[in-house]
Amino acid sequence: MRQWQTCGSVLTELDEKDVKKLYDKDFYAWVNKNLELLKAKQYDQIDWDNLTEEIEDMGKSKKMPV
């Protein structure tokens, strides 16, 4: 999983390409924007590639031995 820095800005109007660019520039804003899009059910604008990668990585890091 990558380490992120944030400048703390949240952009409100982005197209799908801009949301993907935000992933590398401001992770905190990227998370908040995707959360906003999910809540608004604007599924066509979500950065699915990076979102699914982050969820997979999060699951791997939290995996507990049985």
What are the angstrom distances between the C-alpha of 53 and each of 7, 26, 44, 50, 60?
22, 17, 17, 5, 11
Full-model pTM: 0.69
- Residue 26 reports pLDDT greater than 90: yes
Answer with the residue of higher pLDDT: 13 or 24: 24
pLDDT at residue 23 tops 80: yes
For residue 27, pLDDT beyond 90: yes
**For 28-44, how does the pLDDT look when each residue is reduced to its tens digit (9 = 90+)?**
999 999 999 999 999 99
Cβ proximity of 1 and 57 under 8 Å: yes
At residue 64, the pLDDT reads 73
What does the H/E/C string look like for 9-57? CCCCCCCHHHHHHHHHHCHHHHHHHHHHHHHCCCHHHCCHHHHHHHHHH
pLDDT of residue 18: 83
